[in-house]
Amino acid sequence: MSKIQIIGVGALNIDHIYKVERILENGETVVDWAKSFPGGSAANTIYGLAKLGVSTGFCGAVGDDEEGKTLLRDFEGVGVNTSRIVVKPKARTGSVLCLSDRGGRRSLYVQPGANSRLDMAELDFGYINQAEMLHLSSFADDSQFQLSLGLILRLDDSVKLSFSPGAIYAVKGLDSLTPFLSRAHLLFVNQSELKQMTGEDVEGGAQKCLQAGCRTVVVTLGKGKKLGKTTAVGYVRDADNEHIIEPPSDNLAAEVDTTGAGDAFAAGFIYGMVKGKGLAECGRLGDVMAKLCISRTGARHGLPTAEELALRYGK
């Protein structure tokens, strides 16, 4: 087997996206449209990297149903190695109900399905430990949180850990996540997740994550946030420097659906690292990827090839 640069571990889901007039606490509203797409946080990032030409693989579980076959075909279509994805007999593939309204707000409801049946014995550490980087995202239940902890304890020192906790893990707080952060080369969070994890805003929260042992903290800021006198769409910090990622001077694309934007940002950032770029340029590549992602419905349809990214990025 030829060396795989980046391997992903995380949930494999079908996203059922319902575009609604507005998200309600109680009441009734109109569904504008409903569609289903392949998803899963680490899976979206690995898909994006594969489409950019990076050698990738994935470890996870799907059911022996049509949705599981769809996820495998989608990966294989861009060259992701699927040999370590386990098909669980008589299990339903994981799914996410996503309500997305016209104001850009989202509400996600996860049904883990086969993801909760992935066992430590089914993770091939010979396969994982030959990679340059492991990109890890969250699972939905506590047993799989323990699986994630066990995974990083068996990860070779030579493998860099890229960690995307998402809202499900972020709510556990900094103390519970310290084993991940102390091993993480990269941490990808949005500002809400960072606040949940640390109780601090962007700069203070990033500093706390660095103190917990993380090498580089990457915070996505959506449509933009004022940091000092600058409007930023991303914030990147390591032990020595901080980088404020400003929005591009021109709008790359109109926003259609924000599903997977953070996963796309991670793909662009990691791609920059693979290509030897500095942290600031990695952040700008991540922002371009995210903006291309949200120009199409679903987490993957807007993701570019390397040639398309170069054309958009202009460098």
Encode burial over 265-303: b for 16+ CB neighbours within 10 A, e otherwise: bbbbbbbbbbeebebbbbbbbbbbbbbbbbbbbbbbbbb
Domain ranges, ordered by start, for the chain: 6-23+30-164+248-313
Give which of 28, 24, 26 is closest to 99, Cα–Cα: 24
pLDDT confidence tier of residue 17, bands split at 50, 70 and 90: very high
Residues 32-60, mean pLDDT to the nearest whole number: 96
Tens digit of each residue's pLDDT (9 = 90 or more) over 148-199: 999 999 999 999 999 999 999 999 999 999 999 999 999 999 999 999 999 9
CATH code of the domain occupying 6-23+30-164+248-313: 3.40.1190.20
Task: Provide the pLDDT for residue 53.
Answer: 97
pLDDT confidence tier of residue 2, bands split at 50, 70 and 90: low
Average pLDDT value over all residues in the chain: 93
Residues 47-64, mean pLDDT to the nearest whole number: 98
Task: Provide the pLDDT for residue 250.
Answer: 64
Residue 38 confidence (pLDDT) above 70: yes
How far apart, in Å, do the first and last CA atoms of the chain sit?
33
pTM for the predicted model, two decimal places: 0.95
Q: If you ran DSSP here, which 8-state letter would residue 258 be given? A: -
pLDDT confidence tier of residue 144, bands split at 50, 70 and 90: very high
Measured CA to CA, the distance from residue 287 to residue 93 in angstroms comes to 31
Q: Where are the alpha helices (DSSP H) in 199-260?
A: 202-211
Find how far residue 269's CA is from the centre of its chain: 11
Residues 204-215, mean pLDDT to the nearest whole number: 97
Task: Provide the pLDDT for residue 252.
Answer: 56
Residues 296-302, mean pLDDT to the nearest whole number: 90
For 159-260, strand residue ranges (E) read: 160-164, 184-190, 216-227, 230-238, 242-245
Q: Output 224 or 263, whichever has higher pLDDT.
A: 263
